[in-house]
Structure 1
Amino acid sequence: MLLLINIRLVQLTLLFLLLAIPISGRSSVDRTGDRILGRWLFPTKGSSVDVFRIGDRYFARVAEVDHAGQKNYGLAKDKIIITNLAFDGENWSNGEMIHPKTGTHLDVELTMENPQALTVTIYKGIKFLHKRFVMTRVG
């Protein structure tokens, strides 16, 4: 009798574990966070970045560089300038932006007001002192 109860308990535990693990291996938060993926133009519209995901983190690599982006900001094609953004269900935060010209490491947070506009907020330690700009989706 005790053996039967133990077997039943093991079966129920396994069933609970199977139901608790998402079948796709990705949660709905991951898929929602993927809205950010793709190519985005800087405000000057001459340079752009490709946003991609590795695991549960998001990154941005310089895709195209115009003369002004190279001269004023030190942009270089294929250079990764944003790393380790985490999606919290609403925003992408806790990332780091490496200023391509100075090498300064800055905190970065991204918000998406609509599917075509991505607001980038960069700051150094204190969010109150920040710079904000909007990138637009290519295509």
Structure 2
Amino acid sequence: MLFLINAVSYQPADQLIGRWQFPSKGSSVDVYRQSGLYFARVAEVDQAGEQNFGLVKDSLLIRNLQYDGELWSKGRLIHPKTGIALNVEIAMVKPNTIAVTVYKGLKLFHRKFEMTRQEKR
């Protein structure tokens, strides 16, 4: 019976939920699901994240990601330092690695980086 309850509540898209570290490993975000959409809130900020990108702890960084069975896309990132709205797409590379693509307008002009899942302490 417990297996059936877990099978009903688990969604493949939920593999994105958790804490993810930026490439520098000093700043991270917590990804969570709300009303079927995925959001990323800044969890930890190092000096480089604050100075270079304007990250602020507990601020909402990514909103409204939708899972299409393969990618999380159609999300928006408001760059904390510039205020520019960017499109976001996330792909699961490995269970503990995601590839994040950020772009404005045409995907041809994008920035792509990998984030790693932070182990629970």
Q: Same fold (TM over 0.5)?
A: yes
Q: Any gaps of 5 or more consecutive residues in structure 1?
A: 1-22
**2:92 counterpart letter in structure 1:** M
> For residues 116 and 94 of structure 1, what CA distance do their matches in structure 2 show?
22
In the alignment, the residues of structure 2 paired with residue 100 and residue 115 of structure 1 have an alpha-carbon distance, to the nearest angstrom, of 28
Match of 1:115 in 2: 95
Taking a change above 3 Å as real, the CA distance of residues 87 and 27 of structure 1, as seen in their structure-2 partners, is farther
Question: What is the deviation of 1:113?
Answer: 1.1
Corresponding position: 1:99 with 2:79: yes
Larger radius of gyration: 1
Mind listing any 5+ residue stretches in structure 2 that lack a counterpart? none
1:102 aligned partner, one-letter code: T
Offset of residue 27 of structure 1: 7.1
Of all paired residues, the percent bearing the same amino acid is 54
SS in 2 for 1:77: coil
CA shift in 2, pair 1:90/1:27, >3 Å: farther
After superposition, the Cα gap between the structure-2 partners of 1:76 and 1:43, relative to the gap in structure 1 and judged at 3 Å, is same
Higher normalized helix content (fraction of residues): 1
1:69 corresponds in structure 2 to 49
Q: Residue 32 of structure 2 aligns with which residue? A: 52
C-alpha distance after superposition, 1:20-53 (max 9, x if no partner): xxx97x978x700000000000001000000001
Q: Does 1:128 align with 2:96?
A: no
Provide the C-alpha distance between the structure 1 equivalents of 2:100 and 2:8, rounded to a whole number of angstroms: 25
Tell me the C-alpha RMSD between the 2 structures.
1.7
Structure 1 runs of 4+ aligned residues shifted over 6 Å read none
